[in-house]
Amino acid sequence: MCLLHQQVLPMLIHLQTHMILPAALAQTNFTYNRMHTKITSIKSEPESTSASEHRVFVRRKRSRNPELVTKTEPQDQKFTSILPDIEEFAYGKPNVNLPLTKSRLKTQVKSVNPPLNWEKVLEQIHKMRSLNDAPVDSMGCEKAGTSLPPKERRFAVLISSLLSSQTKDHVTHGAIQRLQDSNLLKPETIEKADETTLKNLIYPVGFYTRKATNMKKIAKICLMKYNGDIPNTLEGLLSLPGIGPKMGHLVMNVGWDNVQGICVDTHVHRICNRLGWVMGTKTPEETREALQMWLPKEEWVPINPLLVGFGQTVCTPLRPSCSLCSVNELCPSAFRAATTPKKKLPRKTKPEEL
């Protein structure tokens, strides 16, 4: 009997263990399902819950963290697949297919092919300009104050550029001469001078009243900020009243021997559009930006007096001398330029309207 009890007892214990364990597991799953149902109801309830329910909600939030991570992984992979590896930004790998940004777009726009036969056209214009003098050759803004010391000459070129806007070269040159004869071509004397005196001396330049006011403002700024000299940066020049990009680039070229851009006035703007060197630009500033995309930098300074004189003598605004121009076969606008617009005659008044 004792022997039978010793053999049966381990078998009963083993059988009991295997029967209780599945029941325990089933009980655990049942408890988890009840917790899950209770948590779902808690999320839909308002915030006024008990402290124990809040603890269950925290456990629920923590248990869902792995699920949230697995959901965001495909988005991260999709995002990173667009971007290049960090090694692709290293030097020596120019063929990387990077996304098109504004900076890269600007660089691509700058790589413009020069117009056809532009060198031949430029050479012919040089030959035509050598045959006759133009007003710009002796009375341009860069000729102002040639006998003055460098510091005073820079200020004279600046004032000459200010007066040249909407004014012909011989009128600007005459105004500069009168100012110099009156010892009013220095910032110290202009700042002390009466504005009416300046108006009388620079008349008849265009907008002489406004320019006389700007002369005094510029003189005061140069005395206070630059010790009587002019700004040595393009940004500083453009901050002065009445000074635009065309004047700023000219003063930088002549006054500081610093070429930062092409000086484009109405003559250069008109001729470049007529020759097809730029396409449909509306302002001189647009022409400057388009011209600088392809014109070699060694031509940036001489192109202004060359085309200005050409526009004053041959390629004039109205009725250009296309028959005398040696590049009329290469110019797309030859013999088609604008002529003098016809004036509208006043309408005759009928007797019955009187």
Neighbouring residues of 152: CB distance < 8 A, sequence distance ≥ 6: 145, 185, 186
Q: Give which of 268, 271, 269 is closest to 337, Cα–Cα.
A: 271
DSSP for 191-233, please give it.
HHS-HHHHHHHHTTSTTHHHHHHHHHHHHHHHHHHSTTS--SS
Query: Both tokens of residue 262?
Result: 């092409």
Q: Which residues form the catalytic set?
A: 246
Q: Compute how many other C-beta atoms are within 10 angstroms of the C-beta atom of residue 97.
A: 7
Listed in order, strand segments (DSSP E) in 49-159 are: none
Q: Give which of 255, 231, 240 is closest to 156, Cα–Cα.
A: 255
Helices vs strands, H then E, count in the chain:
16, 0
For residue 92, the surrounding DSSP H or E stretch is none
φ, ψ for residue 287, nearest 5 deg: -65, -40
Distance, first Cα to last Cα, the chain: 150
